[in-house]
Amino acid sequence: MDVYEAVDSRRAVRAFSDEPVPREVLERVLTAATRAPSSGNLQPWHLYVVTGEPLAALKRTATARALAGDPGDEREYPMYPDGLDSPHLDRFAAAAAQRYASLGIQRDDPDRPRKIAALNAEAFGAPAVLFCYLDRTMGPGQWADAGMYLQTVMLLLRAEGLHSCPQVMWTVYRETVGRAVGADDGLVLFCGVSVGFEKDGVPRLRTGRADMTETVSFIGV
């Protein structure tokens, strides 16, 4: 797949089929992704790939917590900064409304938070989830490295005909995830990435993006 095509077709898919993802495909993707940029070559990420019954058990536990209205574990880092304002808040609100309307959840639904949490806890039906951790000693630069690594992984998944959905939501249930994967206390959960083949017959959401001129300034060109 052409790089431009991979970038353009990558999107957060929220409806996966139950078709399993072959281990050899994941190994090929994750081997190639080791070439992702890394300041000082620290390669600070550690990935746990969870599939099969271990993932099913994790989903059951997380979904039960979500449906019970469990507020989740103490946060180790904020999902979003406090005091978002325009244009960031505008983009966030528009994307959220579009995203959950496509899943059949309306803004005025009083049970909206639990429904959203449960869908996320099911990893939208994905048969594989990658949980990305970093050592607690790492700083902002290494968190940026982890983001570049995961973007590399997601683009390589597109080359294999697969889709993905990065989910910071898993940090809400980080203790449940930590027990499932055996992560020690020296690691902090960055996010999960659901992986699989897109389910047929569901609406295909493609959120808008700011025009390049809104976010890029050319100096001296």
**Global model pTM greater than 0.75:** yes
Q: What residues contact 50, with CB distance under 8 A and at least 6 apart?
A: 58, 128, 129, 130, 131, 180, 181
Quote the strand ranges of 32-116, DSSP E.
Answer: 45-51
Other beta carbons less than 10 A from residue 184's beta carbon: 8
Task: Let me know if 125 is exposed, middle or buried by CB neighbors in 10 A (0-12, 13-18, 19+).
Answer: middle
Tokens of 69: 């209205």
Asked if residues 62 and 171 have their Cβ atoms less than 8 Å apart, the reply is no
Q: What residues contact 115, with CB distance under 8 A and at least 6 apart?
A: 105, 109
Q: Three-class SS of residue 62?
A: helix
Q: Per residue of the chain (221 residues), give pLDDT as tens.
A: 899 999 999 999 999 999 999 999 999 999 999 999 999 999 999 999 999 999 999 999 999 999 998 889 999 988 888 888 888 888 777 777 777 776 666 666 666 677 778 888 999 999 999 999 999 999 999 999 999 999 999 999 999 999 999 999 999 999 999 999 999 999 999 999 999 999 987 777 777 888 999 999 999 97
